[in-house]
Amino acid sequence: MLYSRRIFMSGLIEELKHEHSKIAVLLKEVLQLGINSNEGRKRLFDARGYLLAHLRKEDTRLYPVLREASLENTELSQLLDNCIDEMDEISKAALSFFDQYAQGGDEQSFVSDFKQLYRVLNERILREETELYDIYDDFQRQCGGGE
């Protein structure tokens, strides 16, 4: 089974976790600076760019390996399908949020929408870091692979 205790962390997983932290820091800075400040909007644009790059990296380097790992494991295949569907929805919501506040906006609505997006992203990050990333590393180790 692919749910063993982590023995090592691959370079890819280290990168992805670092990106999670960077995105979270940028989003917190947006909240602190305010969406109507030039610097706040700049940080929002930066966070959008980091998130898109992160998603591309997962799509090209993480999910193909997990797909391979799921070929003979229907439980993992279902988990992966659910995670991908969920991420599609989260991505749409995040991009909509970024687009909605790209030029500023009502600060009160921004704070409310931000808190909702931040909660959803944090839940997803936790799930990735406690489930998917461990599975990836386990599979890489079992295959004798690295990146």
Provide the residue ranges of all domains of the chain, joining segments of one domain with +. 11-136
pLDDT tens digits, residue range 5-53?
445 578 999 999 999 999 999 999 998 998 889 999 899 999 999 999 9
* Residue 100 confidence (pLDDT) above 80: yes
Give CA torsion, residues 121, 94, 44, 120, to 10 deg: -20
| pLDDT for the residue numbered 6 | 47
Q: Alpha-carbon distance 124 to 51, whole Å?
A: 13
Provide the terminal-to-terminal Cα distance of the chain, rounded to the nearest Å. Answer: 22
Select from 3.60.70, 1.20.120, 2.40.128, 2.60.40 the CATH code of 11-136.
1.20.120
For the cut 90, the answer to whether the pLDDT of residue 107 exceeds it is: no
| Whole-number pLDDT of residue 17 | 96
Q: For the whole model, what pTM was predicted?
A: 0.83
Q: Is the dihedral of CA 134, 12, 79, 70 positive or negative?
A: negative
Backbone phi, then psi, for 94, in 5-degree steps?
-65, -45
pLDDT in tens, 119-132: 999 999 999 999 99
